[in-house]
Amino acid sequence: MSDKRGSRAADRTEAIMRTALELGEEIGYAKLSIEAVATRAGVGKHTVYRRWSSKGALFLDSLLSLNEAHLDYPDTGDVIADLRQQIHAAINLLDRAPVGPLYRALIGEALLNPQVAAALNDHFITPQAEKTVARLKAARDQGQLSPDFDLDLAMGILSGPLYFQALIIQKPLTHEYVDRVIDALFTGMGPRP
């Protein structure tokens, strides 16, 4: 009997998250409400609140439930090619609906809501940054980077221009722009003769 209940609960959770994404795409994050999600998903709002403390928490889990949101690095032995491939995949994901507009809305919510910011950092930003730093460390260990280069700083230098382009000046992230950022970064990170 408990397997049926667990399966029903999992199905209900999935339906709620799917509904949150659909509504977010249709009406925008600002107009999204727990009540609207509950109504469309056919559940009571208390059912939603038992799982998520806020619409930001619901929205974050809903976005992360998309398997596409997990980006792994290749390791071909060429760190520059690997970074290009992974970052191109990330901007391709963030350039299309539903993920791109919804992710930007979530970033906006994180600026206003410390709980959403902490959850976003814990569940997405930090794991992705750790993957980047691990790939850079492997490259440093292989002699592709200067042995004394600060890898955490490299992560910040690499991601900062991308967030600036996408969120502050709201220009499209293109493969060409990513390539320019990577080339500029690696000019300073390369091993010195």
**Tell me, what CATH number does 17's domain have?**
1.10.10.60
Residue scoring higher pLDDT (95 or 68): 95
CA distance 18 to 191: 47
| Together in a domain, 49 and 121 | no
Global pTM reads: 0.78
- pLDDT tens readout for residues 128-141: 899 999 999 999 99
Average confidence (pLDDT) over 74-91: 91
Q: Are 60 and 99 in contact (CB under 8 A)?
A: no
What's the pLDDT at 46? 95
Tell me the residue range of the domain where 34 lies: 2-55
Residue 76 belongs to some domain of the structure: yes
| Together in a domain, 89 and 127 | yes
In angstroms, the first-to-last Cα distance of the chain is 68
Total residues belonging to the chain: 193
Q: Name the pLDDT band for 164 (thresholds 50, 70, 90).
A: very high
Q: Are 16 and 58 in contact (CB under 8 A)?
A: yes
